[in-house]
Amino acid sequence: MEHSSATDYFQKRLHEQWLLGIDGWTVRTQARLHQLSSLTQAGTHPRILLNLQDPLEFLAAFMAACITESPVFLGNPSWSRADWEQVIALSQPHIIWDAAGQTFTENPFTPHQKSWIMVPTGGSSGKIRFAIHTWSTLMASVQGCQQYFESPTINSCCTLPLHHVSGLMQFLRSFTTGGRLAILPFDDFLNGVSSNPALAAFLDSQSQEVQAFFLSLVPTQLQRLLQRPERLPWLARFQTVLLGGAPAWPELLNAARKHKVRLAPTYGMTETASQVATLKPDDFLAGHYSSGQVLPHAQVLAQDDDQRFLPRNQTGRIAIQSQSLCLGYYPERFANPETFVTDDLGYLCDEQPSACRQEQDAHISGKTPHLHVVGRDSRKIISGGENIFPEEVEAAIRATGLVKDVYVTGAPDSEWGEVAIALYVPITPSRSVLEIQAALQNTLSKLKYPKRWIAVEQIPRNAQGKVSQMQVAMEVRSHLSNGG
């Protein structure tokens, strides 16, 4: 599939005011291009590492790198010093752009990395990796979204970090389709206030402008919004509210449906440049539960342990073939670039589970099935021979209404082999584990009950709502070492 270049899109939008409340983007992009001119005119493509919090500066620097086909690494300004040392050692940048200005470093050039766009992933496990994307893989994702939602122009409201795939793709969808983009800190979005007049008008509870906008949220953000009833009529006006980044629990989805929020739960990841399956808002409001249908630029299949494709309604590892699939993890390319086999377990099915046709393979069916994600294979706990999926246990605990948040993990045990441990935030300090267990009696098999419970003030999550595995492991070790 042919895509216009970054230069072509920049020229098309050169004189347009498409960023709500932000002026000077064209000037800043041209200034960044000028900084690169001496190197790019000599035929070299320097590796650029971005450490920019300001949206204007980030977008200008990112586009300058794309226009000059320079390899660019998207850095997270919130990383620790140790994280940055790891990233610099891995990326070996020639140029670092940060709030202090521009830093040049002496590192060898690598010709085959021209046009690579490195998007960070995997930080929650402690090891930061970069998925290698290109302008073409990112544009394939944009076009798949356009076609699926039948929306030639995509206006986006972004409250997520631009260095993350969830924020980056909102920018690219709007920029390359002739749409507008509103970039807001989530607290401003939540409270409906901004010191910027254009954004303040957008956030006003009476504003009708949001009817033409896509919004992207993670579950923890949606949960906070649902606790603000005065904001819900305004939230329900958005054309589409994409929900991803982490699994959403049934009670959260039910609450959003009750308030007629036009939610579109998605399935995707950094490696696929965001969504490859999405449930359309009308289907969500009609009561459907799934990750939706597969977008036009992708194919999603379930595989068994021997990498054979499974028929519908049979659970296996989710495998993805997509034009938006990354090339590999920097600096290595994938050995098999055609198919990305995830750690997620799921199955493909018609809209209603009773309509599933097990005898018909999803990859040859004329009807696009819905994707249902069961959990992650790596999170599966085998306790006394029983398979326990933490996602199921978490959903049951949340449904009691006795916790604000919960995360279930596994730990070795001499008697059971492995046991489930629940980190939970009680709805009030007086709530006991016995009360929660009593409330689970009719919804969860006792074999799946967590054997240990750890009350915490909050579950360690990042800005996308994903849990920090390192911090969870430290909390569990501390609890067990103290005789818990």
Taking only Cα atoms into account, the Rg of the chain, rounded to an integer number of angstroms, comes to 23
Q: Computed from CA positions of residues 327, 328, 332, 333, in that sequence, does the dihedral angle turn out positive or negative?
A: negative
Q: Rounded to whole angstroms, what are the CA distances from 177 to 3, 79, 139, 192, 279?
A: 12, 32, 10, 27, 22
Per-residue pLDDT tens digits of the chain, which is 484 residues long: 568 999 999 999 999 999 999 999 999 999 999 999 888 777 789 999 999 999 999 999 999 999 999 999 999 998 888 889 999 999 999 999 999 999 998 888 887 899 999 999 864 345 889 999 999 999 999 999 999 999 999 999 999 999 999 999 999 999 999 999 999 999 999 999 999 999 999 999 999 999 999 999 998 899 899 999 999 999 999 999 999 987 787 888 999 999 999 999 999 999 999 999 999 999 999 999 899 999 999 999 999 988 899 999 999 999 999 999 999 999 999 998 899 999 899 999 976 544 443 333 334 334 678 999 988 888 888 887 777 889 889 989 998 999 999 999 998 887 788 899 999 999 999 999 999 999 998 888 888 899 999 999 999 988 778 888 888 988 998 888 876 6
The reported pLDDT for the residue numbered 170 is 98
State the chain's maximal CA–CA distance in angstroms: 71
The reported pLDDT for the residue numbered 81 is 85
The reported pLDDT for the residue numbered 366 is 45
Torsions phi, psi of 344, nearest 5?
-85, 145
Torsions phi, psi of 398, nearest 5?
-60, -35
State which amino acid sits at residue 354: S
The reported pLDDT for the residue numbered 107 is 87
What does the alpha-carbon distance between residue 8 and residue 10 come to, in Å, rounded to a whole number?
5
The reported pLDDT for the residue numbered 362 is 38
The reported pLDDT for the residue numbered 125 is 41
Q: Computed from CA positions of residues 386, 390, 391, 395, in that sequence, does the dihedral angle turn out positive or negative?
A: positive
What does the alpha-carbon distance between residue 16 and residue 445 come to, in Å, rounded to a whole number?
59
Domain ranges of the chain: 6-115, 380-481
Q: What is the DSSP letter of 54?
A: S
The reported pLDDT for the residue numbered 382 is 83
C-beta of residue 382 within 8 angstroms of C-beta of residue 348: no
Same topology, domains 6-115 and 380-481? Answer is no
User: 83: burial class by Cβ within 10 Å (0-12, 13-18, 19+)?
Assistant: middle
The reported pLDDT for the residue numbered 64 is 97
Report the topology of domain 380-481.
GMP Synthetase; Chain A, domain 3 (3.30.300)
User: 466: burial class by Cβ within 10 Å (0-12, 13-18, 19+)?
Assistant: middle
The architecture (CATH level 2) of 6-115 comes to 3-Layer(aba) Sandwich (3.40)
- pLDDT tens for each residue of 395-426: 899 989 999 999 999 988 877 888 999 999 99
- In order, the DSSP letters of 308-322 are PBPBTT--EEEEEEE
Beta strand 263-269 pairing with 240-243: parallel
Contacts of 159 by beta carbon, 8 Å cutoff, 6+ apart: 184, 185, 186, 189, 215, 216, 217, 221
What does the alpha-carbon distance between residue 235 and residue 237 come to, in Å, rounded to a whole number?
5
Quote the distance between the C-alpha of residue 246 and its chain's center.
7
What are the strands, taking DSSP E only, across 174-280? Answer: 181-183, 213-217, 240-243, 263-269, 274-278
